[in-house]
Structure 1
């Protein structure tokens, strides 16, 4: 996963069929587990654009997308936000959501 800026997210949102943006904070233990799950997904689906950002540095994203907590995975399809995932239940669950 690459660190993305808000501009990177907007570009991916406009250009890709499906893209995901993972928002986390460094001191969040659940975020560490979620990051490992997304690393597995990235290995399984290398062409799927998944970016990440420390929410402390992109607070305007929290406001714009009404992010309630971290970890949060924003998923968009064809430029439109379709889902916010807070409970990263399992790798198969996330793969299904990103299909």
Structure 2
């Protein structure tokens, strides 16, 4: 299973993004059933991309994350490359499409 870094402050989120060239943020809320259903599938997809680091942020604990990344509802999935957002998916994630996007970006990035 993909290793997950729990990010509990906005400073930790910022540090995670700046210290990892390829970072993937999973922003959730604890009471969200969709959030709980999506997370295992996301970890499974990210297993194929070892250079992408996965960070998990509880939006109720780190409220500043919503403002920083313009998040209106959870869950939100964000792929950041060198601190810039490249992929955003929301609560109705089509994992086949997400995997295709990640595959294309990952191949270009690894060259």
Quick check: TM above 0.5?
yes
Q: Which band: TM-score by shorter chain?
A: 0.7 to 0.9
What is the distance in 2 between the residues matched to 1:44 and 1:77? 17
Gaps of 5+ in 2: 106-111
Output the TM-score relative to the length of structure 2: 0.74
Q: Deviations over 1:53-94 (max 9, x none)?
A: 11100111101211011110122112112342103112x322
Q: Which has the larger radius of gyration?
A: 2
- 2:73 corresponds to which residue? 69
- 2:24 corresponds to which residue? 20
Deviates more, 1:3-12 or 1:68-77: 3-12
Q: CA deviation at 1:25?
A: 1.1
Report the aligned-residue RMSD.
1.8
What is the distance in 2 between the residues matched to 1:11 and 1:89? 29
- 1:46 corresponds to which residue? 50
User: Please, which of 78, 85, 93 is the counterpart of residue 88 of structure 1?
Assistant: 93
- By relative contact order (CA 8 Å, sep 6+), the higher-ranking structure is 1
Q: How many residues align?
A: 98
Output the TM-score relative to the length of structure 1: 0.81
